[in-house]
Every structure is written in structure tokens, then in C-alpha cells.
Amino acid sequence: MGVLGVAAASAALLAAASKAPPKLLVVTVTKGFRHDSIATIEKVLQGLADSSKAFTLDYARTDEDLAAKAAVKALAAYDGVVFASTTGDLPLPDRDGFIAWIAEGHAFVGIHAATDTFPGFPGFLDMIGGQFKHHGPQTNVEAFVRDATHPATRDLPKAFTVFDEIYQFQRYDPARVHVLLAMTKHPETREDGEFPLAWTREQGRGRVFYTALGHREDVLQAGWYKWHLMGGIRWALGLDAAS
């Protein structure tokens, strides 16, 4: 290979490096209830990353990991975060700085108990769009797709039944979110209403995707759930626009 060939090869390598897929920090630290299914969430996320090559993952599993990887300066290594059934008041080095970092144009993906995180930090609850209030016994509910064009729901049946632990929310205002999935009956009383299961919102230039589903391992491992999560991640990372 001549000098020009080497230069061309180097340029190609540089171009490939600059196109590295986005990187997500998966947070699994819990300070309240700890779901056994967190291990399954990690496996499902890693499977989606490996099979799609659309993003890569790093993990914050301990307080020490959070201190090292979720400090505002360290977050520069990531394009977004996944809160995988996190609970309680996490020891984030700079909570307000973390919310500001999302608003700068980064992705936030919340799974199931993510809304049971930071009960004492309104900035987080306002960012995620609701706070876990209550769940009854695991039950069958009918879920209705409210946005059939969004990447997180467009591949789902328009209505389907799911058996899972179903959350009710407080600090939730439908005017502040874009609902993707909802129930029309209260999961316990069966009263009529509109009860959200998944939504998105924008936090400044950042994109927030939350799904309340995913308590049970069989739900997390279902094909439809993987499409749902993958679509939510791609949307939050700006890889797949909602039409």
C-alpha cells in the first residue's frame, strides 16, 4: 500500500470511529425495593444492543459506579441513561446537574420502578413525568396503543392483554406527557378511566421514554416488549423519529 493508500485507509478508520453507535449508561442501583427481574432487564437490554448494533451499553450497578460514571463530567461519555427498575433516593453526585444534562439533549429511558426513584427530588419526578403511587396484585389488563406511529408502539397490536404488576401514579399530569399505551379500566376496581402504561416527554432538548410495564420476567422477555423497549430507546436517542 502506498502513502496515499495508507492515508485513505486512515481516513476510513477515522470515519468509522466517528460513527461509533451511541452509548447508554444502564443504572440498576436500588435504595428501596429491589426487583429480582433487574438481571433479566440487563440481559434483554444487552441482547437488543448486541443484535441491533444500534447502541452500546455500560452499567452502574453500585454506589461507587454511580459516583464514577454519573458525575456530570463523566456523563460526557454517554448519549443517555436507562433507569432499570431503580428505586429510592440514589446517591447521584449532582442531581440537578444530571437533570440539566438530560435537558441538554440526552436520552432518558425509565423501566417499571424507575418512577419509584427519587421520591424526595421533584426535579426527577417532573422529568420522568409521574411518581409511582401504588400497585395491586399482578393482574391481566387490556393495553391500548395511543400512538400507532411512535417507534415504541407502532409494531404492537392496537390492543392486547398483558399479565403484569400494574402501577398507579401520583404527580402525573396527562398534559405534561405524550401517552403511548393506556388502559381504559382501573386495574383493580375496573372503573372506567384513562390509566397510562407508557409515555414520552421532552425535557428541554432531551427525550424521555418511560414504560411502567416490565415487572415480570416473562413480560420483559416477550417479543412485543422487546419491540416496545427498542423503539423507545431508538426514539430517545434520536435514531428513529416519531412521525
Closer by beta carbon to Zn ion, 79 or else 165: 165
- Residue in the block written with cell 425495593: 33
- Kindly state whether residue 216 participates in binding Zn ion, applying the rule CB under 5 A: no
Burial label for 119, CB within 10 Å (0-12, 13-18, 19+), is middle
- Least Cα distance to 109 among 134, 88, 129, 138 occurs for 129
Q: Is 121 helix (H, G, I), strand (E, B) or coil?
A: coil
Contact letters for Zn ion, residues 118-157 (x by CB under 5 A): ----------------------------------------
- Would you say 30 or 203 has its CB closer to Zn ion? 30
- HSE-up of residue 240 (Cα within 13 Å, Cβ side): 18
124 close to 95: Cβ distance less than 8 angstroms:
yes
Cβ 213 to Zn ion, closest distance in Å? 10
**Closest distance between Zn ion and the C-beta of residue 168, in Å?**
12
Query: Measured from the CB of residue 188, what is the shortest distance to Zn ion in angstroms?
Result: 15
* 80, 120, 215 from 39: Cα distances, Å: 20, 26, 12
Least distance between Zn ion and beta carbon 146 (Å): 22
Minimum distance from residue 46 beta carbon to Zn ion (Å): 21
Stretch that binds Zn ion, among 92-100, 151-159, 193-201, 215-223 (CB under 5 A): 215-223
Taking CB under 5 A as the binding criterion, the range among 46-54, 148-156, 161-169, 179-187 that sits at the site for Zn ion is: 161-169
- Tell me the H-state helices in 74-222: 95-103, 122-128, 217-220
Instruction: Looking at 19-151, list the stretches that DSSP marks H as alpha helix, in order from N- to C-terminal side.
Output: 38-52, 63-69, 95-103, 122-128
Taking the least distance from each CB to Zn ion, the nearer of 79 and 164 is 164
Q: Which of 116, 147, 164, 165 binds Zn ion (CB under 5 A)?
A: 165
**Site of interaction with Zn ion (CB under 5 A):** 165, 215
